[in-house]
Amino acid sequence: MAASAASPVSATVSITPARAAFERLRVQAPVLRREDAAARIVRLRRLAAWLTANRVAIQTALYADFRKPAAETDLTEIWSTQAEIKHVIAHLKQWMAPKRVGTPLSLFGTRSWVQYEPKGVCLIIAPWNYPFYLAVGPLVSALAAGNCCVLKPSELTPHVATLLRRLAAEVFDPAEVVVVEGDKTVATELLSFPFDHIFFTGSPEVGKIVMRAAAEHLSGVTLELGGKSPAVVDATANLRDTAEKLVWGKFLNAGQTCVAPDYVLVQEPVQEALVREMEAVIRRSYNPAGAGVDASESFARIVNRQHFNRLAGLLEEAQTAGASVAIGGEIDSSHCFIAPTVLTQVPPESRLMQEEIFGPLLPLVPFHTLAEAADFINSRPKPLAQYIFTRNAENQRYLLQNVSAGGAAVNETIVHLGHSELPFGGVGNSGVGKAHGHYGFLAFSNEKAVLKQRVGRTSIKLLYPPYTPKVQKM
């Protein structure tokens, strides 16, 4: 029998775990927004203690996911997160305090301030390349700002994802922080909910999907994306020092770092010498006993077969197009191994020079003038980081002024992202918004502008209608 329009319709509404988590957090968010700095700090201290107690578990999960060396896990996953927590705890009270602002003459008699309120219920979507730090780091900022959070780790690092679920269960109230595991199907479902803020770290392609979904609810977004970050080495650079820093920044995490130097623009007369210096550093760092880099416990693997095939394809295609392998080039699909590889004579139109590499392949591109180097970079989407190796202050000034990038480091790679007083994030294709420290706190806060007027007569009332000729003359 067909139901008439007036008869009650019984329907089974299925509540998915993601939906249930979101609804639970929505109820709790008003409670968290009333908390003071001390209460938030208690939560952050619990998190810090868990990190200390679970150091080996974190190292083990990262090793299981892509053979990340324990020392790299300490530095880039655990200590980096601890440093973020410590910095937040030291400054939170001051960041949360309302900030008085001055009063313009036209508003004489009023008082104004900026008050920081949590956005509410936030979503963090994390990538696989630093799967612990890039999940928990934003969570620290979100909690510091007083939010409830759903955290979706990457499905490509399942051991870390499971560990994050355990972390949430052991450290937080399930009405405050929930880890929802899953792939893009789960992410898509989460993105259909009206979150107050979405903090996404991942590729520019998926960043656009996230931004489109956020537009549906006008959710705030922070998009930490990627791209091809260039290093420029001029003829005045100290080549030994440059080689050490480039090799470390590029081959850390097997090149799977958002701010890794993607390619090197090197002033033509010093290219050969730079290659020789890099070769020596690679040998010292990853093959000291001569047994091959694949025997080294200091070098990670490519995260999975799909990314391995992608990188092997980029390498093969570039070689077919005329690129030459100056260092490395060994690959072994049985354990997703690609040796630290430096290439020269790479055609600019090859995919290696068009796509973000995100692996241990480093093309060197010679240039003659700084203007040529700047044009090369500026003809591509804006990068997340820009590296400048020079001893010439004028060259440094020129490149900082003429190249747009999310951040920059001079005579260094990568470590600018570990500076707690600096904003971290991209520009254009490499991201929207900034993270870390105070900038992370602000990303998850609404800076509420408050003006307090005296009760009674004020100069503003002179402007009220009716608009007599006298008012119109003012």
The string of DSSP letters for 135-186 reads: HHHHHHHHHHTT-EEEEE--TT-HHHHHHHHHHHHHHS-TTTEEE---SHHH
- Considering only residues 397-456, where is the footprint of ligand NAD by CB under 6 A? 426, 431
Q: Which is nearer to ligand NAD, 205 or 349 (CB)?
A: 205
Residue with tokens 């200091």: 298
Q: Does 258 bind ligand NAD (CB under 6 A)?
A: yes
Q: Does 224 bind ligand NAD (CB under 6 A)?
A: yes
Distance CA 325, CA 362 (A): 10
Among 93, 184, 368, 397, the residue binding ligand NAD under the rule CB under 6 A is 184
Q: Which is nearer to ligand NAD, 210 or 293 (CB)?
A: 210
Residues 6+ away with beta carbon under 8 Å from 37: 92, 93, 96
Q: Does 128 bind ligand NAD (CB under 6 A)?
A: yes
- Token couple for 119: 């956005």
Q: Does 209 bind ligand NAD (CB under 6 A)?
A: yes
Among 69, 118, 120, 127, the residue binding ligand NAD under the rule CB under 6 A is 127
Q: Does 271 bind ligand NAD (CB under 6 A)?
A: no
Q: Which is nearer to ligand NAD, 213 or 274 (CB)?
A: 213
The closest alpha carbon to 99, from 120, 116, 85, belongs to 116
Considering only the stretches 195-203, 319-327, 359-367, 438-446, report the one whose residues sit in contact with ligand NAD under the rule CB under 6 A. 195-203
Smallest distance from ligand NAD to CB 258, Å: 3
Distance CA 66, CA 62 (A): 6
* Residue 464 CA: distances (Å) to CA of 61, 450, 473: 66, 22, 13
Q: Does 172 bind ligand NAD (CB under 6 A)?
A: no
Smallest distance from ligand NAD to CB 32, Å: 24
Residue with tokens 């090799």: 247
Number of residues lying near ligand NAD (CB under 6 A): 28
State yes or no: cis peptide before 423, omega within 30 of 0.
Answer: no
**Contact mark string toward ligand NAD, 142..171, x via CB under 6 A:** ----------x-xx----------------
Smallest distance from ligand NAD to CB 138, Å: 9
Among 29, 121, 122, 126, the residue binding ligand NAD under the rule CB under 6 A is 126
Q: Which is nearer to ligand NAD, 138 or 146 (CB)?
A: 138
Q: Does 129 bind ligand NAD (CB under 6 A)?
A: yes
* Residue 330 CA: distances (Å) to CA of 41, 290, 343, 346, 351: 48, 14, 13, 18, 19
Which residues are tagged catalytic?
A: 224, 258
- Rg of the chain over Cα atoms, rounded to whole angstroms, equals 26
Q: Which is nearer to ligand NAD, 157 or 445 (CB)?
A: 157
Distance CA 404, CA 131 (A): 28
Q: Does 183 bind ligand NAD (CB under 6 A)?
A: yes
Q: Does 81 bind ligand NAD (CB under 6 A)?
A: no
Q: What angle do CA 28, 32, 36 make, to 5 degrees?
A: 165
Distance CA 265, CA 431 (A): 23
Q: Does 62 bind ligand NAD (CB under 6 A)?
A: no
Among 41, 58, 96, 134, the residue binding ligand NAD under the rule CB under 6 A is 134
- Considering only residues 355-374, where is the footprint of ligand NAD by CB under 6 A? 356, 358
Among 293, 384, 408, 409, the residue binding ligand NAD under the rule CB under 6 A is 384
The DSSP output letter for 36 is -
Distance CA 425, CA 50 (A): 27
Distance CA 320, CA 339 (A): 19
Chain center to CA of 205: 15
Task: Tell me the β-bridge partners of 451.
Answer: 112
Q: Give residue number: closest CB to ligand NAD.
A: 226
Considering only the stretches 90-98, 201-209, 266-274, 329-337, report the one whose residues sit in contact with ligand NAD under the rule CB under 6 A. 201-209
Q: Does 138 bind ligand NAD (CB under 6 A)?
A: no
Q: Does 28 bind ligand NAD (CB under 6 A)?
A: no
Could you list the residues that contact ligand NAD (CB under 6 A)?
125-129, 134, 152, 154-155, 183-184, 187-188, 191, 201-203, 206, 209, 224-226, 258, 356, 358, 384, 426, 431
